[in-house]
Structure 1
């Protein structure tokens, strides 16, 4: 099969071009992907198949070869990548491989490089690749779903704990002096928990490349941030300051998601920051955007972990300090919400300046209405 292997190696780019043209015509989800995404893993697959053909004239034993194992890993990576692309399904991944098989076969036939042995090897390798790719795709979707639901479930604890605390205070208020105030606080916390539960239900229907369902409307973001600040001061005993440079910040936002975003950053600052120094929330109004910053003093996040901290399926922990939950939980939400508003999130953390998370949101990036956030970053630890 050395002749066939040479045909594959020498014509890799041409074969991929034929495959891509066919995929664009037949696989609907591919129309939402750029050419780089379409190419991703398959050129390596062609080269690995060619190497197998050189090493094995018969089918016996090749399934333990390191190149065959690499093919399986490549296929798993292909499925994982597809899980981050909107509209892909397991059926469409299978369709991609069917087109790949057909493209290889027709090309080799036209170049006199096809035989029964070649047919058997291609069929075995590609069928196994389909199993690995679809399995990886399904696990990735499940992991995305679990991560989003886990984030929401984690966030529900705070308002429920606050409501429980308010109810306990009402029971202990013999004079009735604080009853009305604690009742209002409990109602607000329960309402917040109900909103999060609705988000939890929406998270159950996650599809490839999609995150949570967001509701965009015109609102004054500064008003919402003042609410978050006031609520945080009620929940936490630490000093929390709010700074801003405008009277109003009007734009199209999912105000509930942005409030949850800031809640998570404040929670991280409380958990990891210095207990004897204040936490500062800063809202900076710019012409077309708004920057939300949450700063705390204390042990900085090690530079080696700062790049890993935003990875969707990863986690990072502070050195010399035990933590009860990974940074990744809240920062998953933060990144999804920031990117859904056309923005981003970045981190500066060192001993001299402390730790600052900055979230940038574009005011008019979205239109009013509901839509699901897209996952534009690659999954890890699948």
Structure 2
């Protein structure tokens, strides 16, 4: 198998290029996938197989090889990636591995080094990689649905609780003005719950690569920001300070989604920040972008958590220990919404300055209408 190993090492690039060419021709879901994204973990998988071949003459000892575990890990990562790629299904993943097997076999036969032992090793490792990748794909999709549903269900608690509270304190004898104010608060909270419920139904049927459904419209974003600040001030003991332009902030946004983002960030600031310090919401804009910053004092977030705090499929979100266990769910939404608006989400946190979350939004990237956001791949490595 040593000769086969040398061929796979020396022709790794050519094999991947040939596979990619055939994949784009034969696998429908791969046609619109970028080159680097499409290749994903396959070059590492190929190197792993070649490395095993270089050290064994027979197949018997392959299962005990440490590098074989790396092959499995690469295939799991491959499946997770495909779960965040639009239009992919398990069928497409299986087709990718079958095609990969054929390309490798063709190259080895062309170089007169395809033997029975080589064939058995290829068949075993690639079939195992295929099964792990497909299983990882399905698990990741399920994880996405659970997290999207969990995020939406979590966000529905606040408006429903606010509506119940408003109904409980609604008394006509307190005066017509007070009565009408509380009535409007109730109506507003219930409308928001209905909007979130529609998103909940969308999340249940999420497909590979899908995030949340957004409804873009040309609005004054500052109204939504002030709405969130005013409602938060009624709910929390912390002072909620707003530093924003005096004029309108016009653009094409999903106002409901951005309200949810701010609510999550303010809620986290209250939950993890100092009880006696204000939460500051700072808004800046230029001709093309809006920047939203939410700052709180108090304990900082560990640097190792900062690096992956927005990751959608990161396993650290499932940790059962740690002070900031629940950061992940709301921040999943923050990242998705920011990227759907052509922007990004960042965090800065240290003991001296406290914690600041910053999201940027492009004003006119989108057009009015309904669309489904896309998820970005998060490597487990």
TM-score of the pair, normalised by structure 1: 0.92
| CA displacement at 1:299 relative to structure 2 | 2.2
1:185-264 alignment to 2 at 5 Å?
185-264=185-264
Name the SS for the 1:308 alignment partner: coil
Which of structure 1's runs of 4+ aligned residues deviate more than 6 A?
A: none
2:74 is matched with 74
2:167 is matched with 167
| CA displacement at 1:351 relative to structure 2 | 3.8
1:7 is matched with 7
| CA displacement at 1:48 relative to structure 2 | 2.1
In the TM superposition, what whole-angstrom CA distance separates every residue of 1:302-340 from its partner, at most 9, and x where no partner exists? 3343223222234579xxx956x6111111100100000
In the TM superposition, what whole-angstrom CA distance separates every residue of 1:243-298 from its partner, at most 9, and x where no partner exists? 21141111010111011011111111111122212222222121111111212222
The separation in 1 between residues aligned to 2:204 and 2:113, in whole angstroms, is 48
In the TM superposition, what whole-angstrom CA distance separates every residue of 1:112-163 from its partner, at most 9, and x where no partner exists? 1122332222222211111011111111111111111111111111111111
| CA displacement at 1:67 relative to structure 2 | 2.4
The separation in 1 between residues aligned to 2:99 and 2:363, in whole angstroms, is 43
The separation in 2 between residues aligned to 1:265 and 1:204, in whole angstroms, is 24
Aligned residues: 376
The separation in 2 between residues aligned to 1:379 and 1:218, in whole angstroms, is 35
Q: Which has the larger displacement, 48-57 or 158-167?
A: 48-57
2:25 is matched with 25
Matched, 1:93 2:118: no
The separation in 1 between residues aligned to 2:55 and 2:6, in whole angstroms, is 13
The separation in 2 between residues aligned to 1:226 and 1:174, in whole angstroms, is 27
2:350 is matched with 350
The separation in 2 between residues aligned to 1:164 and 1:322, in whole angstroms, is 30
Name the SS for the 1:238 alignment partner: coil
The separation in 1 between residues aligned to 2:154 and 2:199, in whole angstroms, is 12
In the TM superposition, what whole-angstrom CA distance separates every residue of 1:185-238 from its partner, at most 9, and x where no partner exists? 222212111111111111112222220011111111011112112221222232
| CA displacement at 1:365 relative to structure 2 | 0.8
In the alignment, is the contact (CA less than 8 A) between 1:312 and 1:379 conserved in 2? no
2:184 is matched with 184
Cα pair distance change 1:205/1:174, threshold 3 Å? closer
TM-score of the pair, normalised by structure 2: 0.92
1:255-334 alignment to 2 at 5 Å?
255-314=255-314, 326-334=326-334
In the alignment, is the contact (CA less than 8 A) between 2:140 and 2:313 conserved in 1? no
In the alignment, is the contact (CA less than 8 A) between 1:29 and 1:86 conserved in 2? yes
1:118 is matched with 118
Cα pair distance change 1:332/1:34, threshold 3 Å? same
In the alignment, is the contact (CA less than 8 A) between 1:86 and 1:209 conserved in 2? yes
Q: What root-mean-square deviation, in Å, do the aligned CA atoms of Structure 1 and Structure 2 show?
A: 2.2
In the alignment, is the contact (CA less than 8 A) between 2:81 and 2:377 conserved in 1? no
In the alignment, is the contact (CA less than 8 A) between 1:40 and 1:78 conserved in 2? yes
The separation in 1 between residues aligned to 2:353 and 2:53, in whole angstroms, is 59
Give unmatched runs, 5+ long, in structure 1: none
The separation in 2 between residues aligned to 1:188 and 1:245, in whole angstroms, is 25
